[in-house]
Structures are given as structure tokens and as C-alpha cells.
């Protein structure tokens, strides 16, 4: 805009001044915490002056990036060009069979032989990633589609895990019986929590669910007679195939395939829900609660359904988690776990299935493989949640709405949209 | 014949503020009735009361659907009111911005359809048929308001006037017998307003419904409504045919006091 | 009776700290309707800064009340600076965004700050020096310690100053105007951005006061103290009626007493459950809080 009129040099100069000031500010800001370190034992102070240099240099360059992206965001809001381009490309890839079919087949083949290509350890990591895909997709129903910020999602995960663990411990209940029941119990908990919080505004809901999640964890920690307290429950049985005895390696492979089936099942279910009568009601509720009710949608029922369904998936994964690790205790179900699942959904793209899959793989696999990075994992989670909200609220892959095609005119059978809807 | 909407002595208080006081209003079958008044008179509040969004502090609201017995709608939730055949648009457009135009209308079919979660997951023939019906019906509504060219666009991408018409299409998709329009011409240019005039009349005739309309554009109000109610500071200060209301000294006074009003 | 009084003053002390943090929540919420999730972390950073400053100053030979005052001031300055910066980075760009965006951003910021301190400092508990000396006149009093007395008095003074500030200064009036109607305030020439920044700065400074005082009394801190304290203080803010300053103080005290008496007479295992239970209970049955007014959304 007016940058073209102004001479170039002073402009660069003023940008450098801005960045220098930012750098100085952040050097000041981080000085006590980054530079000074107290050893608690010998009461000496350790000065880390290099950190000051890093912060200064980092802030200097990042502030350029920040302003650049901010500028682009403002212009993007005006022109919205590249969003349109990306959307069209996404639409194309997801609808044109010639593009996605070969890719899908290659991916399917890779997924099918994965455990034979990689070690047991790698397979186990992949199982964890797939569990988070499922958790992300489940939470995506609640947060992404229905717009209900649930910060206590981990509670339902815990319910599923403890249900299986306790049933297995006391009654020897097997995995395959427990799995659907864990989902159902979690759904009941979802409804129990859902009922009282129906009337709450979005941000209050977030806090109540957070409180609920913490209450469940604290109860599990303190109610020793019921949950065995912090020491947890060990010796939970792994899933079996008709009584055959498997080695640990075989167990891992078996669980891997179970997870693949479960993830595919989840993706299909969420995908179908999203473009269904219920799914549209959820999205409408997210977009505008008042208008949604005024269009004849029962807010309470719709919210409860989202809660229950989201919880069901957490219950499933909880059951699988207990079977995978054969040991659970309350420390697996902290608020941080909820936060990780939420950041998967946010990073991937709220309401988007592929987005959640990609988000889960990035957030779970990256720290796993970049060991040096894993220490910074939560730091990066937090920062990326902020940056995503600021610069790309739709996430890596924004949700794509279904397109319908209509032939011109014949009003009686208005076209082939229905075919697309129910293919 | 009984009026399709019969409101008696409706009162609404917000804390100390009495936004509506003893309002009586009737809409007869097939009528277009206008509710006018200066800004802040309580018109939107009136809509919010009859659609169940606010709970009125007093009074009675009764509806007479053409094919069902009369019903009091006093303490009904908004969705139940809509289900019983009242549908509305919003003064400050409240579309589902991140949904497509067609989906916006399909959402309004929710209360006329039944399929649930299992149907959505397994997609049986019944669900598919219903889904097809929803798509077709919604498309017809969009054709009526002239938006069939925009089906797959996001609602937020529509121009302003089109968003107002989408609100109307969405309300109509709930199959109301009484349509409540809150300032449908606000922000439209004169040409769009003329088209809206024709559209409202056509909807009334084709869909066989009654319309209650809040509007500031006097030309539009005078040309399409059979009767007019005038609200000022929460009180009904005049009622009658367009000619009667235009001649009423109270109305003239209320409007002269509000010269900034459109 | 003595046990009861002990619990009473224990609750009062706790409640004072909750109140100091809750004031920040309530002010920010009153102005931009955001639950500033990172507020607890500001309190934690205040405590860390005070600890670091106190250790450094102690090496220079400072002690007693001057040490407390100076490290307290440094902590307040830093917390305020953090609050100011956080608003600029994580919330200001989202003023016009969807409802949930700033809240998610705030959660991200909270996680980021926790791990920033964890990585730059330590995950262990650090022992915090007892900066508040025992008063000689308190020697024979058993139901309340000197540190607790200081906490209660400081809270009372801070709340009084804040109330006067909001009632009688220009900035205070601007804050009330923005809280009522942002657009209107802007049209009347109030610099809304400045008001929001000031709100964050004041709220953060109060949190730092709380952080220094309670750390000095409890004697140890780690990177996680902000999370629990933050949620409890938020509970206090909601309990009193969010947006209301006397409400935040009242809520803090009620919560402090609830915890103190419940742990004292029932069971100490479930200390946090009482707080969270109270939060859930209040939000469900009286979301407007004790002093708050129920309001309906204008359609
Ligand atoms: N939810 C509410 N809370 C408090 N006052 C309200 C609310 N809704 C409307 N009002 C008040 O009621 C009066 C009438 O408003 P409204 O019905 O919107 O007027 P109109 O639509 O005629 O311009 C106004 O003074 C408005 O401030
Ligand atoms: Mg109005």
C-alpha cells in the first residue's frame, strides 16, 4: 500500500528499529528466568549469558516473521485468494477419484505391511499415534463439530481404561467384551456430565469440564479401595485371539491391526456423521446457538449427543490403552493429556478428519523420532496452539464442506446431490 | 376465522426496563402484517418473545396452525415453537457462516426429519431417501429466493442482500404457517428492496402462509402490508390499515421524534 | 475453638491469595470476556522472579524487609511485563476471532509458559526463602503466623487501592466504560487498547504480589504451582460473580474457608476435589456467582 510510495531505505531502517526494540524487550523479559539459575543445593548462582544472546537474536528475526505474517493475514482477509486456491485443491483431491485412488492404494499397502517392515518398537509407537488419532477424532466431534470446548476429555479416556482394568482384575473380563462396554460406560459419563452443563456458555463449559476431569483423576488417586490409588492396576490382559498364546511381538502386531481397523472405522463414522442431519445440527450449534435453536434444533439433545459420542471414543481408546500397556495409574490421565489431544485437533484443523490424522502424527511421532526435540515437546505444543489460533485458525487442513451438484431446472428431482450425499 | 397468531397483553421486563407493555397483536390467515416503530421500540424483543428466545414476563401467546388445534406457546423452547410452525429471520443476520448455502437451509429441515446417529453411520435406504428429500427441498427453497446459483458457496461469502434472502429461505425450509421477518430490507439498495417486495408477496401466495414483518422502509411497508401495528417505547400506539396509520397523529409524532431513523 | 480459629485464619490466608489472583481474572474477563488461562502462570513467574531476585540480592548482602520489598517490586514489574506481552501476542490479534479462539490461544500460552520455566529453570521444587520475618509481638500468638498476617493485610490494602483506582482515576473510569460497552467507549474517545493493556498489567501485578507472599509462606515453588492456583482463583472469581471486584475477594475468601474447613474437618486427601467440586457446583447452579447479575444475551 503506502509502502510503495515511501522510499525503501528508511522503511528497512524502521523495520530494523522495530525488531531491535522487540529483541531488547524480550531480552529484558526473559533475563531472570533464562539467564540466572540458582542451584538449590549449594546456593550458588549460575549465569548463562549466552541465553541472552540467543533470545535477542531469536526475537530479532522472529519479529520480522511475525510482522510479515501479520501483514499477510490482514491482506489475506481482504483478498482471500490463496485460501480459495487451497480449498479448491483440497476439494479436487478429495473428490477426484483418479487423484486419490492410487494414493489411497499405496497408503493402504504401506499400512498393511508396516509391522513387517519395522521393529516391534516402531510398531508400538505407531499404535500410540493411532490411539491419538482416534482420541483426536473423538474430541473433534465435540470441539470441532459441535464447538463445545471440552477440557476434561481425558476423564472419559480414564473411565474406559479403568473400566477395563477393574473388570479384568476382578472378573477376568476379556478385551473384546470390555471394548464396547467401555465405550458405553464412557458415553453414560458423557451424558451425566453433559446434563448439568448444558446451559453454560462456551468458556464456562471449558472450565467445568476441566474441573470434572481433575475430579475424576483425584478420585482415582485417592480412593484406594476402588482404584488402587497412585500405584495403579497391573497385569491387565492383552487382547487375545480365541485363546491362542501370542508372544509380545505378535501381540504388538495384533494390536496394530486392531488399531488400524478402529481408526478406519472411526474415520468413516466421523466422516458420515459430519455430513448427516446430526452433523449439520452440531455445526449449526457451533456457528450460532440462537439461530440453531430458532431453526428447530433441540439444543440440549444435540449437545448431549455430541458429548456422548465423543466420550464413547475416548472410552474405546481408554480400553485399548489399558490392554496395550497392561498397567494403568492416574498419572496417565492428567490435564496435560487433554491439552495434547486438544492441540491435535486445533493444529490439524477443527472439524477436519484428515487434519486430525495429520495433526496426531505430527504431534506424537515428531517428538518420538526427534529425540532432541522431545524435551521441547510441550513447549512447542503450547506455542503452536497460540500461533495456529493467531495465523491459521482453520488448522493445517481446514474442514471441507460437501459439495452438491444439481442439473439445471427439473424441480421434481432436483439433481444428483443425493447420490453424492449417500454414496 | 381465528387468527393464526393471537398475542394478548404481552409484557417483557429486563430488570428495571419495561421493553414491552401489554401488547395485543393478531395476524390472520394469509395476511401480511407489519410491525413498525422507532429504533429501540421493542419490535425485535416482541419477536424474541413469541419465538421463545426470551421468556415474557406476562401475557398470552396463542397460535392456530391450519391443520392442528390451537396451542399456547408461552413457555415453549425456541425449537418447539419453530416445530409448531413459526419461523423467523434475524435483524442482525445470523447465518451459519462456515456452512454452505445449501447446508444452511438443510439445517432448517432438521425438525421435519427424523434420522439419527445410527442412520447417519449405516446410511440405510431410509436415511438416504430422507437425505435426498432434504437436499431437494432445500434446493427448491433456494430457487424461490433466487440463490440456486450459490448452493456450494459458504454463507459468509455471499453478498449482503443475498444473505438476507438466504435467511428467508432458511426460515421457509422449516415449513412455517407464519413467517416472521425482522427488517429484511435493512442494508439493501432500492433495487434489491423492490425485488424483496415482490418476493415476500410471492412467498405468501405460493406457500400459503401469513407474514409478520418488522421494517423501517415505509414504501415497502405501505405497499405490501394489509395491516400495520406501531410500537413506541414498548407500547402499541396505533394499529390499522396503511392509510389509517399514516394519518394517525400519534404515529407522526413518534416518528418526528426520531428523525435519525431510516 | 483454637483449632477452629486456626482453620479460620488458615482459610483467610489462602482465600486472600486466591483473591489476589482472582482479581486479575475478573478484571480481564470484565473487559474482554476472556478466561485468561495464562494468568496462573503469571503468578508462577512472579514467584520465580522473586526467588531469583531474592537469591541474587541476598548474595549482595541484602536481607530483611528491604530484601522482601526489592525482590517483590522486581517480581511485580516482571509479572506486569509478562502480562502486557502475553496480551499483545496471544489475545490482541484475536479480538475479532471466533469465540473459542482466544481461549485456546490462552491455554496454549499457559502450556508454553509452564514449559518455558520448566526448561529454563528446573522441574524440581525450589525452596523459597522465608522473606517475611517473625514479628516480635506475635510470639505468643499460636492461631496465626506473622507471614499469614502480612498476607491478609497486604490483600486488604491492595484491594482497597484497586477499588479506589477504579472508582476515582481516569483510567479506572475508562476501564468501567470499556467493560460496559467497548464500541461505545471507543466512540467516546477511550483508547481501548490502552485500557486492555492496563488491565493486564494491573491484574498481573496483583498476581505477582500473591505469588511472592504465598511462596514465602509455603517455602517452595515449582513451575506447576500456577496451574492449580490459577484454576482455584478462577473458581473464586466465578464464585463471587465474574467481572465484579468485591465478588472476586468474597469468592476467594469463601473458597479459602471451604478448603480450609473441609480439609480440617473432613479429609485432607481430597483438598482439590472440594475446590473443583465447588466450581462445578457453582457454575451449574448459579453461573452468575454470589454477587453477579444474571444476564441474557441480546438477540
Ligand atoms: N436481552 C436484553 N437485555 C436487556 N435489555 C434488552 C435486551 N434485549 C433488548 N433490550 C432492550 O429492549 C429495548 C427494545 O429493544 P429492541 O426490541 O431490540 O428494539 P427494536 O427492535 O424495536 O429496535 C431496548 O431498549 C433494548 O436495549
Ligand atoms: Mg430490532
- Nearest-CA distance C228 → chain A (Å): 10
Among residues 121-140 of chain B, which lie with CB inside 8 Å of chain A?
121, 123, 127-128, 130-132, 134-136, 139-140
Which atom of ligand 1 is nearest the CA belonging to B234?
14
Out of B14, B15, B53, closest to residue C299 by CB: B53
**Percentage above 90 pLDDT, chain B:** 66
| Tens-place pLDDT, residues C27-63 | 998 888 888 989 999 999 999 999 999 888 888 887 7
Ligand nearest to the CA of B89: 2
Chains that touch B (3 or more CB pairs under 8 A): A, C
> Would you state the pLDDT for residue C40?
93
Q: How large is the ipTM?
A: 0.92
> Would you state the pLDDT for residue B262?
40
List the CATH number of the domain containing C247: 1.10.3470
Task: Tell me whether C299 touches chain B (CB under 8 Å).
Answer: yes
Q: What is residue B180's three-state secondary structure?
A: strand
Q: Is residue C292 part of a domain?
A: no
Asked if C269 and A389 come within 8 Å (Cβ–Cβ), the reply is: no
Cα distances (Å, whole numbers) of residue B147 to A337, B90, B110, B152, B192:
46, 18, 20, 10, 14
> Would you state the pLDDT for residue C147?
80
What is the C-alpha R_g of chain B?
19
Element (H, E) at B178: strand B178-182
| Tens-place pLDDT, residues A378-422 | 888 889 889 988 988 877 777 777 777 776 544 444 444 444 456
DSSP string, B200-233: HHHHHHHHT-EEEEE-S-HHHHHHH-SEEEEEET
What confidence tier does A122 reach under pLDDT thresholds 50, 70, 90? confident
Distance A11 CA to ligand 2 centre (A): 48
- Name the closest-CA residue to atom 24, ligand 1: B40
- Nearest-CA distance C46 → chain A (Å): 10
Asked if B44 and C299 come within 8 Å (Cβ–Cβ), the reply is: yes
Ligand 1 site-directed mutation target among B23, B25, B40, most atoms within 8 Å of CB: B40
Residues in chain B closer than 8 A to C296 (CB atoms): 14, 54
Domains of chain A in sequence order: 2-81 (no CATH), 107-391 (1.10.3470)
Q: Which of A4-18, B131-145, B207-221, B241-255 has the lowest mean pLDDT?
A: A4-18
- Strands B235-240 and B227-232, sheet pairing: antiparallel
> Would you state the pLDDT for residue C129?
79
Q: What is residue C170's three-state secondary structure?
A: helix
Which atom of ligand 1 is nearest the CA belonging to B182?
21
Q: What angle do CA B230, B233, B234 make, to 5 degrees?
A: 75
User: At residue A2, does pLDDT exceed 70?
Assistant: no
What values do phi and psi take at B18, rounded to 5? -95, 105
User: At residue B259, does pLDDT exceed 50?
Assistant: no
> Would you state the pLDDT for residue A414?
42
CB distance A209 to A322 below 8 Å: no
User: At residue A250, does pLDDT exceed 80?
Assistant: yes
- Alpha-carbon distance of B147 to A370, in angstroms, equals 52
Residues in chain C closer than 8 A to A149 (CB atoms): 100, 103-104
> Would you state the pLDDT for residue A329?
92
CB distance C26 to C248 below 8 Å: yes
**Percentage above 70 pLDDT, chain B:** 97
Q: What is the mean pLDDT of chain B?
A: 90
Mean pLDDT of B189-194: 90
Q: What residues are neighbours of ligand 2 (ion), with CB under 5 Å?
A: B 44, 91
Q: What is the mean pLDDT of chain A?
A: 84
Task: Tell me whether A196 touches chain C (CB under 8 Å).
Answer: yes
Q: Is residue C60 part of a domain?
A: yes
User: At residue A341, does pLDDT exceed 60?
Assistant: yes
- Alpha-carbon distance of A274 to A421, in angstroms, equals 11
User: At residue B200, does pLDDT exceed 80?
Assistant: yes
Out of B51, B116, B152, closest to residue A278 by CB: B116
Q: Which of A253-257, A392-396, B33-37, B151-155 has the lowest mean pLDDT?
A: A392-396
Residues sharing a CB contact under 8 Å with residue C8, sequence separation 6 or more, in sequence order: C257, C260
Mean pLDDT of B86-115: 93
Task: Tell me whether A294 touches chain B (CB under 8 Å).
Answer: yes
Distance A197 CA to ligand 1 centre (A): 27
Which one has a higher pLDDT value, B93 or C218?
A: B93
Give the residue from A278, A263, A361 showing the smallest Cα distance to A313: A263
Neighbours of A171 (CB within 10 A): 10
Residue of B nearest to A422 (CA): B128
Among residues 77-106 of chain A, which lie with CB inside 8 Å of chain C?
none
Asked if C34 and A389 come within 8 Å (Cβ–Cβ), the reply is: no
Asked if A293 and B53 come within 8 Å (Cβ–Cβ), the reply is: yes
Q: What is residue A61's three-state secondary structure?
A: helix
Q: In what order do the strands lie in the sheet with B178-182?
A: B86-88, B178-182, B210-214, B32-36, B227-232, B235-240
- Alpha-carbon distance of B258 to B216, in angstroms, equals 12
Ligand 1 and B261: CB distance under 6 A? no
Give the residue from C138, C129, C152, C139 showing the smallest Cα distance to C68: C129
User: At residue A222, does pLDDT exceed 60?
Assistant: yes
CB distance A38 to C55 below 8 Å: yes
Q: What is residue A46's three-state secondary structure?
A: strand
Cα atoms in the 13 Å half-sphere on the side-chain side of B28: 7
Neighbours of A69 (CB within 10 A): 15
User: At residue A20, does pLDDT exceed 60?
Assistant: yes
**Percentage above 70 pLDDT, chain A:** 87
What values do phi and psi take at C208, rounded to 5? -65, -40
Long-range contacts of A22-26 (CB under 8 A, 24+ apart): A22/A59, A22/A60, A22/A63, A23/A55, A23/A56, A23/A57, A23/A59, A23/A60, A23/A63, A24/A56, A25/A59, A25/C85, A26/A55, A26/A56, A26/A58, A26/A59
Plot region of C61 (φ>0 → left; ψ -120 to 50 → alpha; else → beta): left
Topology of domain B1-85+176-262, CATH: Rossmann fold (3.40.50)
CB distance C239 to C216 below 8 Å: no
Ligand 1 and B43: CB distance under 6 A? yes
Ligand 1 site-directed mutation target among B45, B49, B213, B231, most atoms within 8 Å of CB: B45
User: At residue A121, does pLDDT exceed 70?
Assistant: yes
Residue of C nearest to B54 (CA): C296
Task: Tell me whether B255 touches chain A (CB under 8 Å).
Answer: no
Ligand 1 and B40: CB distance under 6 A? yes
Distance B36 CA to ligand 1 centre (A): 14
User: At residue A139, does pLDDT exceed 80?
Assistant: yes
List the pLDDT tens digit at each of the 299 positions of chain C.
788 888 898 899 989 999 999 999 899 988 888 889 899 999 999 999 999 998 888 888 877 788 888 999 999 999 999 999 999 999 999 988 877 788 889 989 999 999 999 999 888 888 887 777 777 776 676 677 778 888 899 999 999 999 999 999 999 999 988 888 888 888 888 899 999 999 999 999 999 999 888 888 888 888 988 988 888 898 888 888 888 888 899 999 999 998 898 888 887 777 788 888 888 788 778 777 777 766 666 77
Mean pLDDT of B171-194: 92
Ligand 1 and B56: CB distance under 6 A? no
Select the residue from A210, A211, A387 to test the C interface by mutation, using most C Cβ atoms within 10 A. Answer: A211
Kindly report, as residue ranges, where domains of CATH 3.40.50.300 are found in chain B: 1-85+176-262
- Alpha-carbon distance of B42 to C299, in angstroms, equals 12
Which domain does C270 fall in, by range? 2-136+145-285
Select the residue from A147, A389, A399 to test the C interface by mutation, using most C Cβ atoms within 10 A. Answer: A389
Long-range contacts of B195-198 (CB under 8 A, 24+ apart): B196/B164, B196/B165, B196/B220, B197/B223, B197/B224
| Tens-place pLDDT, residues A77-100 | 655 544 455 555 666 666 677 777
Q: Is residue C19 part of a domain?
A: yes
What's the number of domains chain C is made of?
1
Q: Which residues pair with B230 in a beta bridge?
A: B36, B238
> Would you state the pLDDT for residue A28?
93
Distance of CA C157 to the CA centre of its chain: 15
Mean pLDDT of B237-254: 86
CB distance A36 to C56 below 8 Å: yes
CB distance A358 to A131 below 8 Å: no
Q: How many CB pairs under 8 A join A and C?
A: 172
- Alpha-carbon distance of A142 to A313, in angstroms, equals 11
Asked if B131 and A422 come within 8 Å (Cβ–Cβ), the reply is: yes
Residues in chain A closer than 8 A to C288 (CB atoms): none
> Would you state the pLDDT for residue A410?
44
Give the residue from C4, C6, C85, C11 showing the smallest Cα distance to C236: C11
CB distance A363 to C82 below 8 Å: no
Task: Tell me whether C295 touches chain B (CB under 8 Å).
Answer: no
Q: Is residue C291 part of a domain?
A: no
Ligand 1 site-directed mutation target among B19, B20, B89, most atoms within 8 Å of CB: B19
Give the residue from C265, C209, C268, C261 showing the smallest Cα distance to C233: C209
Q: Which residues pair with B5 in a beta bridge?
A: B27, B63
Which one has a higher pLDDT value, A184 or A102?
A: A184
Asked if B90 and C299 come within 8 Å (Cβ–Cβ), the reply is: yes
Amino acid at each position: 500500500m503506502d509502502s510503495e510510495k515511501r522510499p525503501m531505505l528508511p522503511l528497512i531502517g524502521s523495520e530494523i528499529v522495530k525488531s531491535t526494540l522487540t529483541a531488547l524487550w524480550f531480552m529484558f523479559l526473559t533475563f531472570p528466568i533464562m539467564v540466572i539459575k540458582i542451584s538449590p543445593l549449594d546456593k550458588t548462582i549460575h549465569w548463562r549469558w549466552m541465553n541472552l544472546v540467543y533470545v535477542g537474536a531469536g526475537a530479532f528475526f522472529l519479529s520480522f516473521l511475525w510482522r510479515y505474517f501479520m501483514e499477510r493475514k490482514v491482506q489475506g482477509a481482504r483478498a482471500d485468494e490463496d485460501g480459495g486456491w487451497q480449498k479448491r485443491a483440497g476439494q479436487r483431491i478429495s473428490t477426484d477419484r483418479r487423484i486419490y485412488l492410487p494414493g489411497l492404494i499405496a497408503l493402504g499397502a504401506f499400512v498393511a505391511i508396516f509391522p513387517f517392515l519395522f521393529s516391534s518398537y516402531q510398531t508400538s509407537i505407531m499404535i500410540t499415534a493411532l490411539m491419538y488419532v482416534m482420541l483426536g477424532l473423538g474430541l473433534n466431534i465435540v470441539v470441532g463439530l459441535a464447538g463445545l470446548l471440552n477440557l476434561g476429555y481425558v476423564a472419559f479416556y480414564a473411565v474406559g481404561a479403568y473400566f477395563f482394568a477393574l473388570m479384568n482384575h476382578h472378573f477376568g473380563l476379556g478385551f473384546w467384551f470390555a471394548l464396547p462396554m467401555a465405550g458405553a460406560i464412557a458415553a453414560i459419563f458423557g451424558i451425566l456430565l453433559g446434563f448439568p452443563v448444558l446451559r453454560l456458555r462456551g468458556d464456562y463449559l471449558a472450565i467445568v469440564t476441566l474441573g470434572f476431569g481433575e475430579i475424576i483423576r483425584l478420585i482415582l488417586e485417592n480412593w484406594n479401595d476402588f482404584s488402587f490409588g497412585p500405584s495403579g492396576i497391573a497385569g491387565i490382559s492383552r487382547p487375545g485371539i480365541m485363546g491362542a498364546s501370542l508372544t509380545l511381538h505378535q501381540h504388538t502386531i495384533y494390536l496394530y491391526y486392531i488399531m488400524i481397523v478402529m481408526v478406519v472405522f472411526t474415520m468413516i463414522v466421523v466422516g458420515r456423521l459430519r455430513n448427516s442431519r446430526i452433523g449439520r445440527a452440531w455445526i449449526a450449534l457451533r456457528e450460532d446457538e440462537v439461530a440453531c435453536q430458532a431453526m428447530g434444533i433441540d439444543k440440549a439433545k444435540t449437545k448431549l449427543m455430541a458429548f456422548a459420542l465423543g466420550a464413547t471414543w475416548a472410552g474405546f481408546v481408554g480400553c485399548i490403552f489399558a490392554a496395550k500397556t497392561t498397567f494403568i495409574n492416574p498419572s496417565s490421565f492428567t490435564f496435560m493429556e487433554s491439552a495434547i489431544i486438544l492441540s491435535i485437533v486445533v493444529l490439524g484443523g477443527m472439524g477436519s478428519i484428515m487434519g486430525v490424522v495429520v495433526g496426531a502424527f505430527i504431534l506424537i511421532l515428531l517428538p518420538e523420532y526427534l529425540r532432541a526435540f522431545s524435551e521441547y515437546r510441550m513447549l512447542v505444543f503450547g506455542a503452536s496452539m497460540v500461533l495456529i489460533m493467531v495465523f491459521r485458525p482453520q488448522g493445517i487442513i481446514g474442514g471441507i464442506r460437501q459439495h452438491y451438484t444439481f442439473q439445471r431446472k427439473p424441480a421434481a428431482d432436483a439433481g444428483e446431490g443425493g447420490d453424492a450425499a449417500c454414496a | 376465522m381465528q387468527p393464526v397468531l393471537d398475542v394478548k397483553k404481552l409484557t417483557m421486563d429486563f430488570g428495571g426496563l419495561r421493553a414491552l407493555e401489554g401488547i395485543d397483536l393478531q395476524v390472520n390467515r394469509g395476511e401480511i402484517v407489519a410491525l413498525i416503530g422507532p429504533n429501540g421500540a421493542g419490535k425485535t424483543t416482541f419477536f424474541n418473545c413469541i419465538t421463545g428466545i426470551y421468556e415474557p414476563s406476562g401475557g398470552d401467546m396463542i397460535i392456530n396452525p391450519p391443520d392442528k388445534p390451537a396451542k399456547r406457546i408461552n413457555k415453549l423452547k425456541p425449537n418447539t415453537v419453530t416445530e409448531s410452525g413459526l419461523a423467523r429471520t434475524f435483524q442482525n443476520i445470523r447465518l451459519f457462516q462456515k456452512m454452505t448455502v445449501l447446508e444452511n437451509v438443510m439445517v432448517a429441515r432438521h425438525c421435519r426429519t427424523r434420522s439419527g446417529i445410527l442412520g447417519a453411520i449405516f446410511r440405510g435406504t431410509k436415511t438416504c431417501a430422507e437425505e435426498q428429500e432434504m437436499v431437494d427441498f432445500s434446493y427448491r427453497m433456494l430457487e424461490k429466493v433466487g440463490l440456486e446459483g450459490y448452493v456450494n458457496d459458504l454463507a459468509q461469502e455471499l453478498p449482503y442482500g443475498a444473505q438476507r434472502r438466504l435467511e428467508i429461505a432458511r426460515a421457509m425450509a422449516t415449513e412455517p404457517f407464519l413467517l416472521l421477518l425482522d427488517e429484511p430490507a435493512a442494508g439493501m439498495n432500492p433495487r434489491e428492496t423492490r425485488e424483496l417486495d415482490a418476493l415476500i408477496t410471492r412467498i405468501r401466495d405460493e406457500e400459503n402462509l401469513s407474514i409478520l414483518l418488522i421494517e423501517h422502509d415505509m414504501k415497502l411497508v405501505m405497499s405490501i402490508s394489509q395491516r400495520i401495528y406501531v410500537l413506541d417505547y414498548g407500547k402499541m400506539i396505533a394499529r390499522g390499515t396503511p392509510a389509517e396509520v399514516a394519518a394517525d397523529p400519534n404515529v407522526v409524532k413518534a416518528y418526528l421524534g426520531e428523525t435519525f431513523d431510516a | 475453638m483454637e483449632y477452629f480459629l486456626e482453620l479460620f485464619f488458615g482459610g483467610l490466608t489462602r482465600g486472600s491469595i486466591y483473591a489476589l489472583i482472582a482479581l486479575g481474572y475478573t478484571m480481564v474477563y470484565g473487559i474482554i470476556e476472556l478466561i485468561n488461562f495464562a494468568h496462573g502462570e503469571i503468578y508462577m513467574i512472579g514467584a520465580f522472579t522473586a526467588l531469583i531476585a531474592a537469591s541474587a540480592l541476598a548474595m549482595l548482602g541484602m536481607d530483611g524487609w528491604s530484601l522482601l520489598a526489592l525482590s517483590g517490586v522486581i517480581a511485580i514489574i516482571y509479572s506486569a511485563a509478562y502480562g502486557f506481552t502475553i496480551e499483545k501476542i496471544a489475545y490482541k490479534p484475536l479480538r475479532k476471532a471466533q469465540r473459542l479462539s482466544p481461549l485456546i490461544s490462552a491455554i496454549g500460552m499457559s502450556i508454553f509458559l509452564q514449559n518455558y520455566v520448566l526448561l529454563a529453570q528446573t522441574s524440581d521444587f525450589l525452596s523459597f526463602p522465608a522473606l517475611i520475618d517473625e514479628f516480635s509481638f506475635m510470639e505468643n500468638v499460636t492461631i496465626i503466623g506473622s507471614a499469614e498476617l502480612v498476607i491478609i493485610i497486604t490483600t486488604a490494602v491492595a484491594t482497597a487501592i484497586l477499588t479506589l483506582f477504579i472508582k476515582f482515576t481516569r483510567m479506572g473510569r475508562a476501564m468501567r466504560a470499556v467493560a460496559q460497552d467497548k464500541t461505545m467507549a471507543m466512540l467516546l474517545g477511550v483508547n481501548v487498547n490502552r485500557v486492555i493493556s492496563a488491565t493486564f498489567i494491573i491484574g498481573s501485578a496483583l498476581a505477582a504480589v500473591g505469588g511472592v507472599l504465598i511462596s514465602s509462606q509455603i517455602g517452595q515453588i515449582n513451575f506447576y504451582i500456577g496451574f492449580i492456583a490459577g484454576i482455584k482463583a478462577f473458581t473464586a472469581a466465578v464464585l463471587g460473580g465474574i467481572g465484579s471486584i468485591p465478588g472476586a475477594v468474597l469468592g476467594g475468601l469463601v473458597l479459602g474457608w471451604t478448603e480450609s474447613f473441609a480439609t480440617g474437618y473432613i479429609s485432607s486427601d481430597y483438598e482439590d476435589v472440594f475446590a473443583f467440586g465447588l466450581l462445578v457446583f457453582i457454575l451449574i447452579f448459579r453461573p452468575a456467582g454470589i454477587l453477579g447479575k444474571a444476564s441474557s444475551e441480546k438477540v
